[in-house]
């Protein structure tokens, strides 16, 4: 996995896990990959993965069973949908509108790009 250098790695890992939950690859009550395992796959320091998991745990997306590992919370999906949606609508969307306004792009122009995007990601 490649990391964007403009955002903290542990946040990118947390986002990656959230994505997998939202897309159903990780279901409630599933066991999340172990810290060491994920650290190897992503080629990062285990401490960094640990920090991601602490971050997710704090938000109630995952929880820990002592000696067993981290598990996806039952209400992870609802939390994610609510939480991310709110943040998106209140913070990111205005910034997004500001940008396309400055660039002189209209929403209509984005439609075909979005269709292309969807086509590309549904049949990889």
Give the footprint of its own copies on this chain (CB under 8 A): 5, 8-9, 19, 22-23, 58, 64, 66, 81, 84-85, 88-89, 92-94, 96-97, 99-105, 107, 110-111, 113-114, 117-118, 121
Q: What token pair was written down for 60?
A: 């109630």
Residues 6 or more apart from 43 whose CB is under 8 A from it?
Answer: 1
Nearest Cα to 16, choosing from 74, 47, 55?
A: 55
Shortest Cβ 103–DNA spacing (Å): 23
Measured from the CB atom, the residue of 35 and 76 that comes closer to DNA is 35
Residues in the chain: 124
Question: Does residue 16 interact with DNA by CB under 7 A?
Answer: no
In angstroms, the CA 28 to CA 59 distance is 15
Question: Does residue 35 interact with DNA by CB under 7 A?
Answer: yes
Measured from the CB atom, the residue of 25 and 81 that comes closer to DNA is 25
């Amino acid at each position: 996995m490649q990391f964007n250098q403009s955002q903290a790695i542990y946040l990118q890992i947390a986002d990656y896990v959230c994505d997998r939950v939202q897309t159903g690859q990780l279901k409630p009550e599933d066991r999340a990959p172990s810290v060491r395992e994920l650290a190897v796959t992503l080629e990062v320091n285990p401490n960094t993965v640990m920090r991601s998991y602490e971050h997710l745990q704090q938000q109630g997306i995952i929880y820990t069973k002592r000696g067993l590992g981290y598990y996806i919370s039952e209400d992870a999906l609802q939390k994610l949908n609510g939480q991310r949606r709110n943040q998106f609508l209140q913070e990111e969307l205005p910034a997004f509108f500001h940008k396309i306004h400055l660039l002189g792009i209209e929403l209509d122009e984005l439609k075909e790009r979005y269709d292309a995007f969807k086509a590309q990601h549904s049949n990889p």
